[in-house]
Structure 1
Amino acid sequence: MVDRTIDQPRSPAFIELCLLLRDFFGDLDLGAQLNALTDEDLCRHIAFAVSLQHSGRDFTARPAPELDHIATAVLRRLSTGSLGNTSLRSPQARYATDVTPRTVQVADGPPSTTAPDKPVGALWTSSILPEGASMWQWGELAEFGPDRPLFTVTFDPADIRLFTIDSPFDYGRLVNRYPRSSDGRVQVCWTRAAEDLDAVHLTVPGLLTAQHVPVMTSHGTAILTGWDAESTAWLHLPNAFEMTPVTT
């Protein structure tokens, strides 16, 4: 079993998840309780913790040493099963109104200190849980409701130029490789990244440890925001990229 390193300070979503689990399980044999959760149940708890950024709470990264034992148990749980699988797997899930994948043309976001650091114009997918749900399912329902149909997307993972964000360190490497500075903030220059990469994948551990966490880079402090779920931003579509509607 792999024990991931816990980064300081804690991301606000990670803090909220630990508080939720403490209230739900207490401290009695937390590891066993977490292992008893299905990946879908744990993913639903994570989605709820991420959604609390819209609740008016203090959603800033901060140390939380009183939650260290819970955070350690969560990261150990994530090191097994589909939530800890950092590979980009085919098929992926995609919610869309267009049956045919549109042409992807990536642009950088507006020069604002509040704009999320995500590629404008990317095509987005998420991984599929063993139970069949998309890891973006709860965010989709919250943001768009039940109107957009679900598709599966197939491709050849070996044919993808991929960058994986699995930790704050990974995000810092991406910023250092493709820096863009504006209004005193450093972000990823997504148009430059698109010259080398086909896709950027934010894993579940990356979501919990890197999003909303300040990262020192060679160009200043960067903060990953706006992804809000395990997801992949496609900067280019590979040759074998097929969408199939999911029938219910």
Structure 2
Amino acid sequence: MHKIPDCLINPSHQVTVALIGCGGTGSHAIGHLGAIDTCLKTLGHPGIMVYAYDPDLITEANKGRQRFSGADIGLNKAITLISRINRIQGSSWEGIPEYFTKDTHVPCNIYLSCVDNVKSRITISKIIKDKRDNHHFEPYKKPYYWMDFGNLKDTGQVIIGTLSKIEQPKSKKYRFIEKLPIITEMFDLTQIDEKDTGPSCSAMEALTKQNLFINPSLATLGCDLLWQMLSTGMTDKAGLFLNLKSMNVNPINI
């Protein structure tokens, strides 16, 4: 079992979340984050503050698989999604129409990466670790978790790990684990063939490369794991593997 830090369960501030990538998975995840924010507030929690990163403009090819319409074409993905969610729930989340870099990085408690290539994941890991190791953070900026979403055509995974050791309670009932591996520690990403990942240039090509519902399915399952962590204060899962072709979801037990 892994216990979530008290400063995220009973905080005096909003829990800060960085959403990196607002395409196939990220555009679906942001709506789920809105639901998490609303429901946490119902429980007396301050909720979450989201910073969404994506430099891309919306194109015709993004309709259908991503949460955009024809009226959105030509607009920035991050700004469009954040503006929409802010209007719906009266929040003040921030859309950042740029890549996630050491210069655009806003330190957050939780990072969600919804990117489509290995290079981006390695870059994200380096940026977060460098900032973590070289700064003293206020509670609302201290990095605790990184959740990564990744997929191929019919399969995908969600991996959540800790960005440092998190002090755990002593218990006779559970064996608490203070460190969960992040995606770059669990797998050797340099061994993954980049040709199996990456964006598609047309809607037809995208549908031949990826199942229509692989991205929203992963977004739902990953955000449910995040909700369970923030609402219950503990987790015995460090992620999951999804196979839509066989309709199987296999948890990654701690």
* Same-fold status (TM-score > 0.5): no
TM-score category (smaller protein): under 0.3
Taking structure 1 as the reference length, the TM-score comes to 0.27
